[in-house]
Structure 1
Amino acid sequence: MAENYPAALNREQFNANFVAVTQLAQIHGLSKERADALAEDVFSGELKAVHLRPILDGLLGETGQSTSARRMLAKRRGSDFVRHVIDRVKENPDVLGIGIVDEIFTPPYNARFVPELAVRQGERWIAVEINIGGETASPYDIGRYLARLAQLEQKYDQAILVLPKGCEDIAEMARRFQREWIDRDVHVVLMPEPGPQGTL
């Protein structure tokens, strides 16, 4: 905002939330003219994130599959999946397949080296690492997932990896590598991604 719309920082009435401003910035990266036309309504709060999302999707479709468009789509898909999993676990902790949960905790967004979600079972704390995975995964990628779980287990009693359904091959490879390396199973949960309106 400071770079593209510095005057907005001095507005008396600024009613846009973080998500709307972020989406406006993404629109600006794809079409400055379109963003400029929307900016006033975004800053006044008249246009919300829910209104900007279809515009952003349309612009991404128009740009084809450029590198920046692919990167933006992948990042948004990942953040949508993380939010979806957090909501699902809070709504129904049974989806993790670990039994009764006493408490669900979402660490601060900007905290370092913490999972997206932590759950408590009695005295035990379990870290939930959520990752969008990919269509394919190299042994290096799998090693990175397992290293992240090992890092979390330095602080938590257990770490769980959540991937989207469709990542069965990645999950199986992670289980196989973990057994080969340290003769121990890894807990991987596969969950559906949100649909177009954030539902299954």
Structure 2
Amino acid sequence: MVRPVAMDDENPRWPRWLSQGKKVAQLIDEGIAGSGDYAETEVGLKDVGLASRTARRFESLYRFLLRVYPAMLQRRKVLAGSTAVMELMKLHEHSAKLADKVVADVLAGTLTHDKVRAQRERVMPSTGDTARKFGTAKRIADFEHMAVAQIRRKPELLGLAKEGRVELPLPRKPLFPDLLFKQGDCTIAVEIKAAGPRRDSYIVGSYMARLAQLLQRYDRAILVLPGGCEELAQATVKLQQEWGPADISIVCLSGPKPRAFDVRTTELHGDTRR
């Protein structure tokens, strides 16, 4: 039996989590556009009543549906839980064609997250090494944990000075990055994402928005991606350069020599890909 999702009181066509994701996206976009500062954005997120990672997850799912299936949001009543839409988003990364076939059933709540995951796992072997390396939540968590540990021990991996100080922000703080690096009067935000190599516009746009958001509060922002994501990193940097100057850099943790643009590639010891 499918467990019903809690619907939003103000918009009964949407589940509460989706309306919260829209609210978070609006708060962030307003802050980036300059209509509100970082402190106001953070207060607004606290009013939503979500932990930082939950808020960002709901936001990313809302943005995914808005960019890829906007008509569905307007025409259909959404009865899906956030976990089912998360699996749909992952399926879309591996097979957009298959995701298009099942999206109606997912949003109607008749195709549960475990069934969507089963379909994703069936198509994963044909997508190459990235699916094998980062196909499970555990491996994603392993990469993020390993990256944090390595950067704290050796900030030079990101081109940062040894004399600086790496800090972990307080947990459950809305909008805070994964790491902060303080070097004299300069504070650098470090965001870690166990991404795949796809360069869909909504993925590149979400990274740009996150980096711009971090620059509202910090002097510099660094996005850390796994090895194999150089093309995604270059696409993000290129779009940022076209949009306007910004003190950002993107580092891919892997073994090859450094690549072009602001994409620096270095080795992550204890690689979780084996």
TM-score (norm 2): 0.44
50, 66, 77: which one aligns with 2:118 = 66
What is the match of residue 210 of structure 2? Answer: 148
Specify the code of the residue in structure 2 equivalent to 1:166. G
CA RMSD of aligned residues (A): 2.9
Distance in 2 (alpha carbons) for counterparts of 1:123 and 1:154: 16
Distance in 2 (alpha carbons) for counterparts of 1:115 and 1:107: 7
Query: 3-state SS of the aligned residue for 1:125?
Result: strand
Specify the code of the residue in structure 2 equivalent to 1:164. P
Moved more, 82-91 or 131-140: 131-140
What is the match of residue 107 of structure 1? Answer: 169
Query: 3-state SS of the aligned residue for 2:166?
Result: strand
* Bigger Rg, which one: 1
Structure 1 segments unaligned to the other structure (5+ residues): 1-62
What is the match of residue 171 of structure 1? Answer: 233
Is the 1:128–1:161 Cα contact (8 Å) retained in structure 2? yes
Alignment identity in percent? Answer: 33
Query: 3-state SS of the aligned residue for 2:209?
Result: helix
Structure 2 segments unaligned to the other structure (5+ residues): 1-114, 125-133, 255-267
181, 186, 189: which one aligns with 2:248 = 186
What is the match of residue 142 of structure 2? Answer: 80
114, 135, 139: which one aligns with 2:197 = 135
Q: Relative to 1, partners in 2 of residues 1:150 and 1:184: Cα closer, same or farther, differing over 3 Å?
A: closer
Is the 1:136–1:170 Cα contact (8 Å) retained in structure 2? yes
Residues 51-82 of structure 1: CA deviation (Å, up to 9, x unaligned): xxxxxxxxxxxx9x615878x95322222111
Query: 3-state SS of the aligned residue for 2:223?
Result: strand
Query: 3-state SS of the aligned residue for 2:236?
Result: helix
Distance in 1 (alpha carbons) for counterparts of 2:246 and 2:155: 24
Residues 31-64 of structure 1: CA deviation (Å, up to 9, x unaligned): xxxxxxxxxxxxxxxxxxxxxxxxxxxxxxxx9x
Q: CA deviation at 1:182?
A: 0.6
Specify the code of the residue in structure 1 equivalent to 2:236. A
Distance in 1 (alpha carbons) for counterparts of 2:197 and 2:273: 22
Q: Relative to 1, partners in 2 of residues 1:178 and 1:164: Cα closer, same or farther, differing over 3 Å?
A: same
TM-score (norm 1): 0.59
Specify the code of the residue in structure 1 equivalent to 2:151. V
Distance in 2 (alpha carbons) for counterparts of 1:171 and 1:73: 20
